[in-house]
Amino acid sequence: CSALSTKQERRFPDDFLFGTATAAYQIEGGWNADDKGESIWDHLTHNNPTVIKDLSNGDITADTYNNYKRDVEMMRELGLDAYRFSLSWSRILPNGLTNKVSEAGFAFYNNYIDEMVKYGITPMVTLYHWDLPQKLQDLGGLANPLFPEWYEDYARVVFEQFGDRVKHWITFNEPREICYEGYDAGRNAPQVNATGIGSYLCAKNLVMAHARAYHAYKNDFAPSQGGVCGITICVNWVAPLTDSEEDRFEAELSRQGQWGLYAEPIFSEEGGFPKELSERVAQRSIEQGYPRSRMPEFTDEEKAFVKGAADFFGVNHYTTFLISATEKFSEHAFSDFETENHYLDEWPKSASDWLNLAPNSVLNALTHLKEKYNNPVIYITENGWSTRHDAGLIDDDRIRYYRAALENVLDALDAGVNLKGYMAWSLMDNFEWFAGYTERFGLYEVDFEDPARTRTPKKSAFVYKQIIKKRVIDHEYEPSSMTMTID
Ligand code: PNW
């Protein structure tokens, strides 16, 4: 035994789930394979191609539709415990509604899941990662009050089909990006520009849809299938730029707008939308001449239905934003809470303008959630770093980021955070939304010029593999070669 070892090694628990994450539109391709229906991302990129930086789209992307066996081989090379991926709603229900189901869509996901399960990899499935069937968007999408019904119908089909093998369900990925960016700021698909109104309608319908799917699962599927169901919210750390009371208040409002709007109804004691933000919107609405608040309310019955409706809190965490009250919200007419984000010069920069490496970012976010929401079960469902498309395979800055984040994961475990797993974003390079293929988040490089979409491990893949295998972070570890094997 190593009585001579002086430095105490901190270990990840044996049952801690290490994985990687992806999303359907970003990796699958096969955008119109078999009877797949059009999604809002197909629609946006085809009808308005100049919104994407390199004029690209996800028509083929990494072509997982034809390469899923290679994807699972990569999971085995890395020694992953789990793999998080999303289902394309319009691949399963071409029109969005359940009167027509796609056997080809079922077959694709059944094969993908079977291949993972065969090798002992735990599938973690997101039902909705931004790619709404266009037919439902034509009816208003998430702004239509019938949305929760459509969503529950879809969720039931999915639980029924895949729930014998899938035990970890995530209803939505990143409500803020869906609602605020999609229906308010008009940046994400469907690019509805309904300033100060759209995101709140969407937020309520999304939260109700989540709760309907959750209860459907708990009542009708979990008793026989035995899995868990949660939601993934992007919780970046948001802190005041200075210690002034104004900055602290503005930072709190920013947290409420970025993620409290979606987390509070589900995870708080009181239920409903966050208090200070609701008050601000109500007051501004009246000043602006509206007869009532632009933000809808939950009835007591709805509050009770939504409160506690999650087995875990999925956290996507990337970075820290600093907020200053000197940029008054009123100067940002399109938002009730958005102000300029500040970063410190000494924070290392990624290839994405919003993503920097701030100290203790993961730890701050997780301990905040522990305190605020009574120590919920948490999975980190995304965390990652972008490099430029031509950065090559030696990605030491990504390695530095992952090591820092995982040190924080150990700190959080020491601090009593109920953290059960960590999914790195991303298994491989993919279609990075408006950045197209100009920003790369993969542990594996994908050659998008090559019809075979060859995947090659980056240096970070070897480092992540070593951490998973040894359950410790060795900051000195260097891969001895760039040849990957399955252990
Ligand atoms: C996530 N931010 O989006 C998404 O879930 C992924 O699909 C995406 O590829 C990944 O992060 C990298 O961008 C985010 O501004 C979008 O802090 C924006 C932010 C964070 C995550």
Mean pLDDT of 419-436: 98
CA-based radius of gyration for the chain: 22
Q: How many CB atoms lie within 10 A of CB 114?
A: 12
Between vectors from CA 348 to CA 342 and to CA 352, what angle results, nearest 5°?
Answer: 70
Expressed in angstroms and rounded, the spacing between residue 188 Cα and the centre of ligand 1 is 11
- 426 cis-preceded (ω within 30 degrees of 0): yes
Tell me the pLDDT tens digit for each residue of 308-332: 999 999 999 999 999 998 766 555 5
Q: What is the pLDDT of residues 147-175, one digit of tens each?
A: 999 999 999 999 999 999 999 999 999 99
Rounded Cα–Cα distance for residues 338 and 238 (Å):
12
If you measure from the C-alpha of residue 432 to the centroid of ligand 1, how many angstroms do you get, rounded to a whole number?
A: 9
Dihedral of CA atoms 42, 45, 46, 51 in degrees, nearest 10, equals: 160
Q: Which helix (H) or strand (E) holds 239?
A: strand 237-240
pLDDT band at 2 (very low <50, low <70, confident <90, very high): very low
For residue 385, give the nearest of 441, 427, 434 by alpha carbon. Answer: 441
Residues near ligand 1 (Cβ within 6 A): 23, 26, 173-174, 177, 234, 236, 316, 318-319, 354, 382, 425, 432, 441
Question: Band of the pLDDT at 365, cuts 50, 70, 90?
Answer: very high
3 pLDDT band, cuts 50/70/90, is very low
In the predicted structure, residue 6 carries a pLDDT above the cut 70? no
User: What is the whole-number distance in angstroms between the Cα of residue 403 and the centre of ligand 1?
Assistant: 20
User: Mutation test of ligand 1: which of 170, 318, 433, 441 has the most ligand atoms closer than 8 Å to its C-beta?
Assistant: 318
Using the atom order of ligand 1, give the atom closest to the CA of residue 355: 17
pLDDT of residue 54: 98
- Ligand 1 pocket mutation pick from 41, 179, 316 by most atoms within 8 angstroms of CB: 316
The mean pLDDT value of the chain amounts to 96
Chain segment 270-285, per-residue pLDDT in tens: 999 999 999 999 999 9
User: Of all atoms in ligand 1, which is nearest to the CA of residue 23?
Assistant: 7
What residue type is 356 in one-letter code? N
* CA of 234 relative to ligand 1 center, distance in Å: 8
The Cα-based distances of 22 to 10, 140, 225, 382 in angstroms read 28, 27, 24, 9
Which residue reads 């391709």 in tokens? 29
The mean pLDDT value for 413-428 works out to 98
Residue whose CA lies nearest to ligand 1 atom number 15? 354
pLDDT tier for residue 341 given thresholds of 50, 70 and 90:
confident
**pTM for the complete prediction?**
0.97
Q: Tell me phi and psi for residue 126, to 5 degrees.
A: -95, 130
Residues known to be catalytic: 174, 382
7 C-alpha to ligand 1 centroid (Å): 37
Q: What is the pLDDT of residues 446-480, one digit of tens each?
A: 999 999 999 999 999 999 999 999 999 999 999 99
Give the position, in ligand 1's atom list, of the atom nearest the Cα of 433.
Answer: 9
Q: What is the pLDDT of residue 257?
A: 95
The CA distance from 437 to 399, in Å, is 21
Of 172, 177, 381, the residue with max ligand 1 atoms within 8 A of its CB, to mutate for a pocket test, comes to: 177
The reply to whether ipTM tops 0.95 is yes
pLDDT tens digits for range 79-125? 999 999 999 999 999 999 999 999 999 999 999 999 999 999 999 99
Atom of ligand 1 nearest to the CA of 321: 17
The residue whose CA has the least distance to atom 9 of ligand 1 is 432
| Å from CA of 139 to ligand 1 middle | 26
Q: Which amino acid is at 359?
A: P
Q: Which amino acid, 287? A: E
- At residue 50, does pLDDT exceed 90? yes
Percent of the chain scoring above 70 in pLDDT = 97
Question: What distance in Å separates the CA atoms of residue 172 and residue 203, rounded to the nearest whole number?
Answer: 12
Closest ligand 1 atom, CA of 386? 12
Taken in order 468, 469, 472, 477, the sign of the CA dihedral is negative
Question: Token match 């395979």: residue?
Answer: 393
Looking at residue 428, what DSSP letter applies? B
Contact status, residue 314 vs residue 381, Cβ threshold 8 Å? yes
The arithmetic mean of pLDDT across residues 31-50, rounded, is 98
Q: Which protein residue has the closest C-alpha to ligand 1 atom 12?
A: 432
Beta strand 320-323 pairing with 378-382: unpaired
- Ligand 1 centre to CA of 157 (Å) is 28
Atom of ligand 1 nearest to the CA of 236: 17
Vertex 129, ends 124 and 134: CA angle to 5°?
135
**For residue 315, how far is its CA from the centre of ligand 1 (angstroms)?**
12
Judged against a pLDDT cut of 60, whether residue 234 lies above it is answered with: yes
Q: What's the pLDDT at 325?
A: 86
Res. 9 pLDDT band, cuts 50 70 90: confident
Residue nearest to atom 18 of ligand 1 (CA): 177
Quick one: which atom of ligand 1 is closest to the CA of 177? 16
Q: Could you report the per-residue pLDDT of 398-415, keeping only the tens digit for each?
A: 999 999 999 999 999 999
pLDDT of residue 420: 98
116, containing H or E segment:
helix 103-118
Query: Within 10 A of 72 (CB to CB), how many other CB atoms are there?
Result: 22
pLDDT digits (tens, 9 = 90+) for 93-105: 999 999 999 999 9
d(CA 195, CA 181): 10
φ, ψ dihedrals at 84, nearest 5°: -100, 125
Binned at pLDDT 50, 70 and 90, residue 23 comes out as very high
Write a three-state SS string for the chain.
Answer: CCCCCCCCCCCCCCCCEEEEECCHHHHCCCCCCCCCCCEHHHHHHHHCHHHCCCCCCCCCCCCHHHHHHHHHHHHHHHCCCEEEEECCHHHHCCCCCCCCCCHHHHHHHHHHHHHHHHCCCEEEEEEECCCCEHHHHCCCHHHCCCHHHHHHHHHHHHHHHHCCCCCEEEEEECHHHHHHHHHCCCCCCCCCCCCCCHHHHHHHHHHHHHHHHHHHHHHHHHHHHCCEEEEEEECCEEEECCCCHHHHHHHHHHHHHHHHHHHHHHHCCCCCCCHHHHHHHHHHHHHCCCCCCCCCCCCHHHHHHHCCCCCCEEEECCCEEEECCCCCHHHCCCCCCCCCEECCCCCCECCCCCCECCCCHHHHHHHHHHHHCCCCCEEEEECCCCEECCCCCCCHHHHHHHHHHHHHHHHHHHCCCCEEEEEEECCECCCCHHHCCCEECCCEEECCCCCCCCEEECHHHHHHHHHHHHCCCCCCCCCCCCCCCCC
